[in-house]
Structure 1
């Protein structure tokens, strides 16, 4: 059965990358979460997508320039009724111990090379003994290869925007057990062949009904979506169909 990963949590209805969004995704029945990590000035791993806080909070400036205690004062739900702080990764991992969700941690280190971030994240995953429920991904493939070298027991999956020729061969060459391609840049046949070669395929960001149906039809490993509620409803209609 195709797994459903909530992209930055249930971000279609809640402030992205907040505990409120993650808890809502779990309550909705999502199989997993996708979230983004960066590093504060004092070395705390925090969950936020953009390199700057401007878009998603009531603050401004680069994440890397904030002390953790100052970052926590910002509201990550600036248009919402209540204050939502930017979560630390530790806070999320501690909460994950209360459920069975898989968590895809995306390293946001393409523009800013956060030194030591991989080691810090691996250390936290080990602390909470979540190795078998974590997938590391990044557009920075050097970063996930480094993660594999320091923690080969944790799955890695390169992120792609462009179409990659025979991605299963590339994945095996970097010891990745999955790929996270842009859904519109990968064909059904490439998805099927990649899975037949033992590599998980989790396309992003799948929000339209027709795209969800296409991927459920071929029993894709997982989809990453802003709207897990819609995805679950559509998946149910395909589960009832007899296998061809």
Structure 2
């Protein structure tokens, strides 16, 4: 059955990309997480979606201009009562060792190429023995290919905003084992044909009930959603069917 990956953690109920959101996703019964990584000025891997800290924290400016020590002082739970730091990838991996969750790491290196990001992420994946639980994705497909070359045993999956012709052929050509398409741009028959060709399909970001139903009905590999609780509720309707 379709796996449920919590987009930036359980971001419908917690501040996105925080340890609370990740722990909330585990508690909710998600199969895994999706999170985003960037590099600080001194080369530490931190978990945050935007290139700038303005939207999700009480700070201003680019992630790349902060040192790790400086960025840890920001509050990533801007609208909440509880203060939360931006997590480091090390912190997330330490916690992943206590559970069985999958983890989709999106490398946010489209705008800034972040020198050495792939090496740093892969080194940590090896260090924590998580090679079979990690999927590396990015809109920067050069980065996906480079990651595969560095570590062929870690699954890679290109992200797509637009529809792509015969995505299984493209995926095979770059040695990716999966694709992460925008759910509204991939038709049913392309999802099924891609999976029939041995490529995993994990559409994002699927939050509406009608869209979730469509994905579960197709028995898609996984779904990336802000609300794992809602997704699980919809999934149960399909599990009961013969």
Under TM normalisation by the shorter chain, which class is it? over 0.9
C-alpha separation in 2, matches of 1:82 and 1:231: 26
- What's 2:115 paired with? 115
- What's 2:36 paired with? 36
Deviations 1:66-104 (A, max 9, x none): 000010000000110110100000100110010000000
Deviations 1:172-212 (A, max 9, x none): 00000000000000011000000000000000000000000
- What's 1:125 paired with? 125
Report the aligned-residue RMSD: 0.3
**Aligned to 2:118, what secondary structure does the other structure show?**
helix
C-alpha separation in 2, matches of 1:215 and 1:60: 38
- What's 1:57 paired with? 57
- What is the CA-CA distance between 1:14 and the residue it aligns to? 0.3
- What's 1:74 paired with? 74
- What's 1:97 paired with? 97
C-alpha separation in 1, matches of 2:177 and 2:27: 28
**Aligned to 2:146, what secondary structure does the other structure show?**
helix
- What's 1:215 paired with? 215
> Which structure 1 segments of 5+ residues have no match?
none
- Superposed counterparts of 1:132-211, under 5 Å: 132-211=132-211
- What is the CA-CA distance between 1:138 and the residue it aligns to? 0.2
C-alpha separation in 1, matches of 2:181 and 2:171: 12
- What's 1:237 paired with? 237
Question: Aligned pair 1:85/2:85, yes or no?
Answer: yes
Deviations 1:111-133 (A, max 9, x none): 00100000000000000000000
**Aligned to 2:38, what secondary structure does the other structure show?**
strand
